[in-house]
Amino acid sequence: MQSRTGGHPAPRTHLILATRNAGKITELRAILEAAGLDVELVGADAYPDIPDVKETGVTFAENALLKAHALAQATGHPAVADDSGLCVDVLGGAPGIFSARWSGTHGDDRANLSLLLAQLADISDDHRAAHFRCAAALALPDGTQRVVEGTLEGTLRHTPSGTGGFGYDPVLQPLGDTRTCAELTPAEKNAISHRGKAFRALVPVVRELLG
């Protein structure tokens, strides 16, 4: 792209993703590139002095917005953040925003999974509907914000199966499949995942707000 005032290329839009997870950065970067968006995407590691934001919201969208706004204000650049978890129908949508710390210890996947299965031990197959939900937020330094969401519908197995993925992947079986998310290949999972859907829904938002 040429600038209107000369022959020098216009600077690429700098966009920050509020994560230190290289996989998330690679996934969103590929989606933006596939959409033809000339955006320079970096992760939070590019700004090591900025502290992590406490997720005090009561919804995925609120937590995503908290992180995106904090990063945009601290850096002066547009920022994207996401928040996600497992929502079980018979539990009224829980674990929800508490998915990563359902057992009381943040990030203990095995304990979280064991507790959830124990809570659902007597629940029959026809009442084990659940879905992964992801909210992705884009915030600009001037306070402008947008939120999009993506879901992966499925049912919960009684026992874990598969060694891929993380979190509750070994027990969620996507609708229309006979395997759990942990039994899918990375490419298969990315194609249907809640985060992939949310990131792809960000494309028109990025195009609208960042050009």
pLDDT, tens digit (0-9, with 9 covering 90-100), for 59-97: 999 999 999 999 999 999 999 999 999 999 999 999 999
Cα angle 65-206-56, degrees, rounded to a multiple of 5: 5
Q: Is 166 annotated as a binding residue?
A: yes
Tokens of 94: 């829980």
195 a known binding residue? Answer: yes
Question: Which residue range forms the structural domain that includes residue 146?
Answer: 13-210
Q: CATH number for the domain including 179?
A: 3.90.950.10
Average pLDDT over residues 115-120: 98
User: Are 157 and 179 in contact, with CB atoms under 8 Å apart?
Assistant: no
Tell whether 4 is covered by a domain.
no
Please confirm, yes or no, whether 52 is among the known catalytic residues: no
pTM listed for this prediction: 0.91
83, 122, 142, 177: the active-site residue:
83
On whether 29 is known to bind a ligand per the annotation, the reply is: no
Does some domain include residue 52? yes
pLDDT at 5 over 50: no
Residue 6 placed within a domain: no
In a domain, 61, yes or no: yes
Q: Do β-strands 79-88 and 13-17 pair in parallel, antiparallel, or remain unpaired?
A: parallel
Could you tell me if residue 184 is inside a domain?
Answer: yes
Q: Identify whether 2 is part of a domain.
A: no
SS3 (DSSP) at 95: strand
Q: How many helices (H) and strands (E) does the chain have?
A: 5, 6
Within-domain flag for 3: no
> How far is CA 108 from its chain centroid?
18
DSSP E strand stretches across 8-164 = 13-17, 39-43, 79-88, 129-139, 145-156
Q: Confirm whether 8 is domain-assigned.
A: no
